[in-house]
Amino acid sequence: LHKTDDKQLCLDKGQLSISNKDAGAGNRKLHSIPRALQRFGALFQRSLRQNIRNTRVIMLRLGAAVLQAKLFASIFKSVRHDKSLTKSIADRVALLTYGCINLSIMALMKTLELFAKERAVVLREQMRSTYSSLEYLLAKVFAEIPLDASFALIFASVLKKLTGLRSSMGTLMKTYCLMTVSSVSLGFAIGSMASSAETAMALGVPILVILMVVGVINPSGVDPDEPPNRVMEWIKLFSPIKWAIEALVTAEFRGMTFEKKDRDFWGNLKQLPRMGGLALVRDGDDVLDALGLGTANYDEI
């Protein structure tokens, strides 16, 4: 319960109301603050308190981010500084892809559950004209997105330290963070349309699967002579997973040159993938050409 000189801000069981009290000397100072800002501040404070109460969940998510990065590093053992680059080509693509999928699932599922659970309370409060949808959404964005983005930053930093990825720490952190923010935003959109947590999950899972399918890079390569499906191309535009994977793969392979031991003909032939679009590539730019990313440009990342 927070009191001011002339107003009392009540946050009880998720209900937000501002009741007038007798005016005092501080009345002029309080009225100088826009009412919308007061309501936003109260909503933001409530969201922060919810996160603080969920300290156990936050610690579990933090541990999961670290353990998942360690798990991926142990699975894709060829992505190391002391390993052959040619041998790790396919594993580098897979490692970056699974990292994107993992963070996207965690961010979207958490947001769907949170938004759907609060829907009934928010609707009841809005029926009383307590605050607007925009004020509630902005408060949630400022309270939830930094927390979700922090898990992506931790995952990216641990993954970089435990593997031999060529992409810089900044590139990994920025890309994974932006993709997580996009997934959280998608969860907000889907959750706002659902009437319950069950409905939100029923809608969110198929949508996430579609965005994953269209976003994952086909390891068999791309045939430049085959015209792309226009419907699929339109769907791909809305997949944050697609943009994140392409940005990371482009940063990883652009300008990659095989080491001297990798350029030996027989050694190179033995270490390269034997099937698919990555077979018999000569350098990182060849890898991007085979995957259909030869002209991709993500210099901002």
Cβ neighbours of residue 201 closer than 8 Å, sequence gap 6 or more: 109, 112, 113, 116
What's the whole-model pTM score? 0.78
pLDDT, tens digit (0-9, with 9 covering 90-100), for 287-297: 888 888 877 77
The answer, yes or no, to whether residue 271 has pLDDT greater than 70, is no
Phi, psi of 221 (to 5 degrees): 90, 180
Question: Which of 156, 135, 141 has the alpha carbon at shortest distance from 189?
Answer: 141
The answer, yes or no, to whether residue 203 has pLDDT greater than 50, is yes
Name the more confident of 265 and 279: 279
Average confidence score pLDDT of the chain: 78
The answer, yes or no, to whether residue 179 has pLDDT greater than 80, is yes
Name the more confident of 181 and 275: 181
Question: Which of 20, 19, 21, 11 has the alpha carbon at shortest distance from 41?
Answer: 11
- Reduced to 3 states (helix: H, G, I; strand: E, B; else coil), residue 2 is strand
The answer, yes or no, to whether residue 160 has pLDDT greater than 50, is yes
pLDDT more than 90, % of the chain: 26
Confidence band of 161 (pLDDT split at 50, 70, 90): very high
